[in-house]
């Protein structure tokens, strides 16, 4: 189950919320074609999770697995943020 939350003011950088395998998640979607997703996006997700219920985990979705820089991958692993592409959501 996933609720789509459109972009807009006050969304705390959250594009979607739902449950994955029974666990609550909040996520960001980045459909960038010319620019890779860097660690700044992961830090934004960490900040956005501060306003979510404590048991909520973070997800950042890119177009492909190659959409993420190595710095973003490392930052996500360290913070426990799931990164994935739209085909594996």
Task: Classify each residue of 8-27 as buried b or exposed e, where b means 16 or more C-beta atoms within 10 Å of its C-beta.
Answer: eeeeeebbbbeeeeeeebbb
- Supply 51's token pair: 């306003």
- Give the H/E segment covering residue 73: helix 70-79
pLDDT band at 20 (very low <50, low <70, confident <90, very high): confident
DSSP state at residue 65: G
Per residue in 39-86, pLDDT (tens digit) is 999 999 999 999 999 999 999 999 998 999 999 999 999 999 999 998
**Region of 25 on the Ramachandran plot (φ > 0 left; ψ -120 to 50 alpha; else beta):** beta
Counting the structural domains of the chain, the total is: 1
Contact 68, 59 (CB under 8 A): no
Tell me the residue range of the domain where 6 lies.
Answer: 2-88
CATH number at residue 31: 3.40.1350.10
């Amino acid at each position: 189950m996933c609720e789509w939350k459109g972009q807009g003011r006050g969304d705390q950088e959250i594009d979607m919320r739902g449950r994955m395998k029974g666990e609550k998640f909040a996520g960001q979607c980045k459909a960038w074609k010319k620019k890779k997703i860097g660690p700044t996006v992961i830090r934004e997700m960490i900040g956005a999770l501060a306003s979510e219920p404590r048991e909520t985990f973070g997800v950042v979705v890119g177009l492909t697995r190659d959409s993420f820089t190595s710095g973003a991958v490392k930052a996500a692993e360290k913070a426990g943020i799931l990164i994935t592409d739209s085909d594996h959501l």
